[in-house]
Every structure is written in C-alpha cells, then in structure tokens.
Amino acid sequence: MQQVNLGIIGGGTVGGGVFQAIQRNGALISSRLGVRLHVAKMAVRNIHKPRPVKIPAALLTTDWAGVVNDPQVTLIVELIGGTTTARELVLNALKLGKPVVTANKALLSAHGEELFEAAQNSRTNLYYEASVAGGIPIIKVLREGLIGNRITRLYGIVNGTCNYILTRMKAEGADFADVLAQAQRLGYAEAQPSLDIDGHDAAHKIGILASLAHGFWVGPKQIYVEGIRNITRLDVQFAQQLGYTIKLLGIVKKAGPVAGARRKPNGYAPVQVSVYPTLVPNAHVLASVNDVFNAIYVRGDVVGDTLYYGRGAGQDATASAVLSDLADAALDLKCGTKSRIPPFVPHEREGAVLPIDEVVARYYVRLNVIDKPGTLAKIAAIFGRSKIGISSVIQPEGHEGESVPLILMIHDATNAAITRALATIGALSVVKAPPAMIRVENFE
C-alpha cells in the first residue's frame, strides 16, 4: 500500500488531536483510501512540554524548517497558528512543490491570495477545510458540492463564543458582562476575548467563504465588522417580544435593489460582506442554533437553500476537518494530480465589496428618552425628513418626566441614511443616551 509521510508543524491542542485521530482511525482511513497516512515528524516549540496526547519522543523536533525540507516528508500540516512563522513555512513548503494542509484562518485571511498564487505557481495544492467552522465541511461544499451554483446568499453563525453568550443571555435574561465571565470560566472565551466578541474571528472566516463563493479575494479591511459587546439584556428581551433572536451573523449577499445602481456594465452587482449582530426571525432555522454550535446557510441559484450545522471549534471537530483534507491530499498524491481542484479560482475579476453605507436593511432601534408629550413626534419627524419609515413602536409604560426605553422597528433604508438620522436624534434634549441600532435580516 502506498504511504504518504506527514510532517506536522504544531503539537498543541489541534496538532495533538490530529495525531491522536490518525492513531485511532488510521487503519480505517487507509482501507478507504488505499493510502497509508504516516506521521514522519512533528515540530513543536518545546519537546519537553507535558501534553495531554502522548507523542513518541522520536517524532518530535523543534526544527520546523528541517521538517519542511526533509525529502522524505511529502505532505506538510501547519497547525501553529499566527501569521508570521506560519506564512514562512507554508510558502517554503509550497515552493518545494509539497501540498499543505492548514487550519489557520488568520493566515488565510491576511495572506490567502499570496498563498494560493504560490500553490498555483508550484503546481501543488493548499487545503484549508479546518480554517472555517471546525467540523462542518463548508469549504468542500463551496469548492466541490456546489460547484455548479452561483451563490446568491450565505449567512454564517461561525463564532461559538459569541453564539454561546447570546444564547445564555436569552435563556437566562442575563447581562452581557455576567455571561462573558461565565464563558471565560468554562473555557469558551479567552481571558482576552476581543478577537471573538468584537467579531474579528468571524470576519476572518466569512472573508474566506465570501472569496470562495464569489471568485474574487475579499481582504479583511474590506469587511464591515461589529461585535456583540454592546448588546444588552433589554435588546435581547425586546427582540424576543418582537419575535426575533439576536445572532452574530456573517453575511455574504449580492447587493439589493437600491444599491443595484452601482452595477457595472457587465451586470455584476457588488457583494455585501459583513459581520454584525442581527435580529433573526424566530421561525428561521438559524434562530435555533444555540450555545457553541455553528451553522452556515447557503443559497445557490440551482440548488436553492441548504444548511450546514455542527461544532465549530475544539480539538476533535478541527481534527476531523484536518483528516478530511489529509484524505484529499493523499488521494491527489496517489493519483498524481496535485492540483485536481485548485484551492481558489479567481473567476470574477470585476468583483467588488459593497460599502457598508450602501447596504440596505431593516433596523431595530432602541432609544432612552424622556417620557413626555411630543417626544415621539420629534423623533418621527427626523425619520420622515430622512425618508425613513417606522413600521412599529414599543414604549413601555413609565412615569411622565422619567427616562424610558423607546423601541422602533424601521423599514428598509441604507446604512448611511439610518446613521445620519440617529446622529440627529441622539442630539435631541429628550434623548438621554446614544441610540442603539441592530440590523434585521428577513432572508428574502
């Protein structure tokens, strides 16, 4: 039986999980592929560090370059994270003509275009299923399963930490800070949680999916990002009262009718690529994705709507995705087709990301206002002058002269228009706190 020699760079949680999974299911994988996966070497930072997964000392080295350059190693697995050393070792491996498997979303987000070009120039391949949504095979879906579709909509719950926090806030009626502290105690959130709760982790992933779906590279600076740290218990409660659940969504979709004026002569519409908290109708399937689970909802012009659900992080889920890539890479090597399906094909050279100011949406707006006659009229007048319609209003009964929340649901408007209107409203003397706004998605 043919053997593929693996050089694994990184022996942490994911690296240990991959090694363990190969030991556990290596015979099964070999029987299905007709190729044996053999871990030849494993580069780590500290050989003597205690590890939850026992790795034979003879496999370990601190010299990642030696692993990459070893002529006996035919397939490199990058599992160290970061964007500096990881970029260097992946480029070195690709230039040697060696295929690379990576789980590094930050690396692909920052340098994906360069890495894919290096793979193409060396006539080899870069596999990255584990970089987005853990055990959900969404990269394979977009690259292969939906290869005959134009993707018109993609919505992703792709950060388990944020989804856990929002789920607990809804279930327990708790404040954001309390649930974040709980998530940190349970290990679902880091001690420094900004990467997750401010939306940057989700943006790395949604940029990769947007690039695959639309055939032009979407860099991190092109993605509009908002996190969840400003979501309050009141917002969760009022959303529920209105029939919605708040989720942090990554959104990739073609521009709507208002923004369609920006269409190019070839008819190609710009694509919205955004990450932000969203009111999701309770009847929609994404509203029921809870705790640390991820889900990606994809609409193709041929297949229609499809949903992919599972664990988005963790040792086993990520290791499963890496094994999928190892199987693909091993088969490609066995058949002598190192680039059977290129990692990324830039087929839409005229593609562009729609600026957030031109994105059209509905909105939930929460104001803290003085409860006195004429307050709502002043606010409605500002929306009216901005040609923005109000679809409904909730004002809990209060005591005249005191501050009370005022909730408004707003009809379709551009982000620029609603932002200007809220800036004017926020300056009114009857408004006692900066307005809060959350976008509403109807999935049409």
25 lies in some domain: yes
5-21 confidence digits (pLDDT tens): 999 999 998 999 999 99
162 and 301 in a single domain? The answer is: yes
Q: So which residues are the catalytic ones?
A: 205
Together in a domain, 150 and 271: yes
* Residues 214 and 276 both lie in one domain: yes
Residue 347: inside a domain, yes or no? no
Tally of helices (H runs) and strands (E runs) in the chain:
13, 16
Same domain, yes or no: 305 and 319: no
| pLDDT at 398 exceeding the cut of 80 | no
What would the mean pLDDT of 416-429 be, rounded to a whole number?
Answer: 97
Q: Judge whether 344 lies within some domain.
A: no
Range with the poorest average pLDDT among 168-177, 233-242, 253-262: 253-262
**Per the domain annotation, does 341 fall within a domain?**
no
- Verify that 294 and 306 share a domain, yes or no: yes
Which of residues 241 and 259 earns the better pLDDT score?
241
Mean pLDDT of 238-260: 85
The answer on 305 and 212 residing in a single domain is yes
256 pLDDT more than 70? no
Whether 419 maps to a domain, the answer reads yes
Do 86 and 174 reside in the same domain of the chain?
A: no
Residue 265: pLDDT band by 50, 70, 90 thresholds?
A: very low
pTM to 2 decimal places: 0.92
Percentage of the chain beyond pLDDT 70 is 95
Residue 273 included in any domain: yes
Task: Report the number of distinct structural domains present in the chain.
Answer: 3
Same domain, 30 and 127: yes
* Inter-residue contact 50 to 349 (CB < 8 Å): no
Its domain, for residue 12, covers 2-136+315-335
Taking 50 as the threshold, does the pLDDT of residue 140 lie above it?
yes
Whether 340 maps to a domain, the answer reads no
Average pLDDT over residues 64-82: 96
Q: How many CB atoms lie within 10 A of CB 293?
A: 19
* Mean pLDDT computed over 167-187: 94
CATH code of the domain in which 393 resides: 3.30.70.260
Buried b / exposed e over 163-202, threshold 16 CB at 10 Å, is bbbbbbbbeeebebeebbebbeeeebbeeebebbbbbbbb
If pLDDT is split at 50, 70 and 90, which confidence band does 260 have? very low
- Return d(Cα 228, Cα 219) in angstroms, integer: 22
Q: What pLDDT sits at residue 258?
A: 45
What is the pLDDT at residue 14? 92
For residue 182, what is the domain's CATH number? 3.30.360.10
Q: Tell me the pLDDT of the chain averaged across its residues.
A: 92
Residue 437's closest CA among 402, 399, 388? 388
Q: Are residues 18 and 6 in the same domain?
A: yes
The residue-averaged pLDDT of 288-294 equals 95
